[in-house]
Amino acid sequence: MSTSHIVVLATLLGFAGCCSKASSPPDMTGPLTHATTFIQDGQSTREQVLLKLGIPSRQFEAGRILAWRVRTEGAELVMVSDYPAGDDPRYNTWPASSRGFDLIVVFDTHDLVQTHNLVPARR
Amino acid sequence: MPISRTLHLLVLIISPLSAGCAFTTISPPVSDDHVRQRWLSSIADGRTTREDVQQLLGEPAFRFSNDRILAYRLILSDRNTEPSNDEYLKEWDNDHLRNEAINARIKRISEGGALLSIRDANEGTVRKLILLRHAEFGLLLFFDGDGVLSQHTFSRIRGG
């Protein structure tokens, strides 16, 4: 092996230690659907859903509709912030892969889940 | 080229690269337990009333079931007022470029930071503060018919 080869190899190894591994965004819909099976339309109460999920990200129609920004880590369902962070705020580069999904839950007048759905986060 | 010269060349190349990786270690973030003890220690099931909570944290982000459930969205920051644009950009640059500055900020927050309640009414006035937040938490409180706290959950909301 020539000296130039060794130098190139050492340089590449040096850079490799500083670079993070790029990965394609995983398909989260399947695991998320599985992780939200505890929500039963017509049976689950508002209190049960809140105890399981924690504080919602947003509410609509005076709390009749609640939204949680969610993703999965392994089999665990985690709440994530819908506030941007992590990238230089002077550039509008919040990566689409980190937006996750919004779990939308609609409650009836008796505070029972009427219906729920997972939709890709839009903001 | 003799082997000693090759080694010297390798050292010369690798040293600056390693220096880029081996800067000051970032301190661990302020823990959930510390936040509870420092800012929320007065909240206790079976004792704390709805009024106590509102006196401590102000208006909640959400009220459900005729105020039987209150929900607070809390951000942890090193200040309690919205920074100017210059302060904001300076702090953002510090926090993303210098680990020493990050550690100093974590220490400032841990010892004298602020836990702020964010809701629709004040969200627009503290946008830069939200972007500079050290952590974000959700506090859900369930009260009994007498307005006394029956149970509560406190959880960290992860970055998006």
Q: CB-based contacts of A101: which residues, under 8 Å, 6+ apart?
A: A28, A29, A32, A69, A70, A71, A118, A119, A120, A121
Residue A59 predicted with pLDDT over 60: yes
The CA distance from A46 to A43, in Å, is 10
Q: A38 is written with which tokens?
A: 């505890």
Tokens for B157? 């909301």
Look over chain B and give the mean of its residue pLDDT values, rounded to a whole number: 86
pLDDT for res B93: 79
What is the number of CB-based contacts under 8 A between chain A and chain B?
A: 97
Query: Mean pLDDT across the stretch A70-91?
Result: 70
For position B42, what pLDDT does the model report? 96
**Minimal C-alpha gap between A68 and chain B (Å):** 11
CB contact under 8 A, B155 and A50: no
CB A54 within 8 A of CB B101: no
Of residues A90, A93, A114, the one with CA closest to residue A104: A114
Nearest to residue A82, comparing CAs of A104, A101, A57?
A: A57
Is the pLDDT confidence value at A28 over 60? no
Residue of A13 and B78 predicted with greater confidence: B78
Cα B139 to Cα A57, A67, A69, A95, B23, distances in angstroms: 12, 16, 16, 28, 36
Is the pLDDT at A9 greater than 80? The verdict is: no
pTM above 0.80, yes or no: no
ipTM of the complex: 0.75
Q: Residue B132 in contact with residue B75, Cβ under 8 Å?
A: no
Confidence label for A99 from pLDDT (cuts 50, 70 and 90): low
Query: pLDDT grade, residue B4 (50/70/90)?
Result: low
Tell me what pLDDT residue B147 has.
97
* First-to-last C-alpha distance (Å) of chain A: 53
Helix H or strand E segment including A52: helix A46-53
The average pLDDT across A12-21 equals 48
B6 CB within 8 Å of a chain A CB: yes
pLDDT for res A22: 46
Q: Establish if B142 touches chain A: CB-CB under 8 angstroms.
A: yes
Element (H, E) at A14: helix A3-18
Cβ of residue B131 closer than 8 Å to a chain A Cβ: yes
H helices of B98-154, where?
Answer: 99-112, 120-123, 127-131
* pLDDT reported for residue A20: 46
CB of B85 within 8 Å of a chain A CB? The answer is: no
- Domain ranges within chain A, ordered by starting residue: 24-120
In this predicted structure, which of A8-12, A15-19, B44-48 has the lowest mean pLDDT? Answer: A15-19
Measured CA to CA, the distance from residue B66 to residue B139 in angstroms comes to: 18
Interchain CB contact of A51 with B (< 8 Å): yes
Model pLDDT for residues B111-160, shown as the tens digit of each residue: 889 999 999 999 889 988 888 888 999 999 999 999 999 999 999 997 75
**Closest Cα in chain B, distance from residue A66 (Å):** 10
User: Which neighbouring-strand residues pair with B143?
Assistant: B149
Cβ of A67 under 8 Å from any chain B Cβ?
A: no
Residue B139: predicted pLDDT = 97
Contact predicate B76/B35, CB 8 Å: yes
Contact A3 B6 (CB under 8 A): yes
Better-scored residue on pLDDT, B81 or B5: B81
Question: pLDDT value at position B17?
Answer: 52
**Integer angstrom CA distances of residue A23 from A97, B82, B160:** 10, 36, 17
Does A105 touch chain B if contact means CB atoms closer than 8 Å?
no
Which pLDDT band holds residue A93 (cuts at 50, 70, 90)?
very low
Evaluate whether B103 touches B24 at the Cβ level (below 8 Å).
yes
Q: How far is residue A111's CA from residue B1's CA, in Å, rounded to a whole number? A: 80
Q: CA B119 from chain center: how many Å?
A: 16
Q: Tell me, what's the pLDDT at A36?
A: 86
In this structure, of A83-92, B2-11, B57-66, the range with the lowest mean pLDDT score is: A83-92
Distance CA B132, CA B119 (A): 17
Instruction: State the average pLDDT over residues B76-98.
Output: 84
Q: Is the pLDDT of residue B76 over 90?
A: yes
Residue A66 clears pLDDT 50, i.e. is over it: yes
Per-residue pLDDT tens digits for B47-71: 999 999 999 999 999 999 999 999 9
Q: How far apart are CA A81 and CA A84, in angstroms?
A: 8
A17 has pLDDT over 50: no
Rounded to whole angstroms, the Cα distance separating B17 from B11 reads 10
Closest CA–CA distance from residue B139 to any residue of chain A (Å): 7
- Report CB contact under 8 Å: B21, A99: no
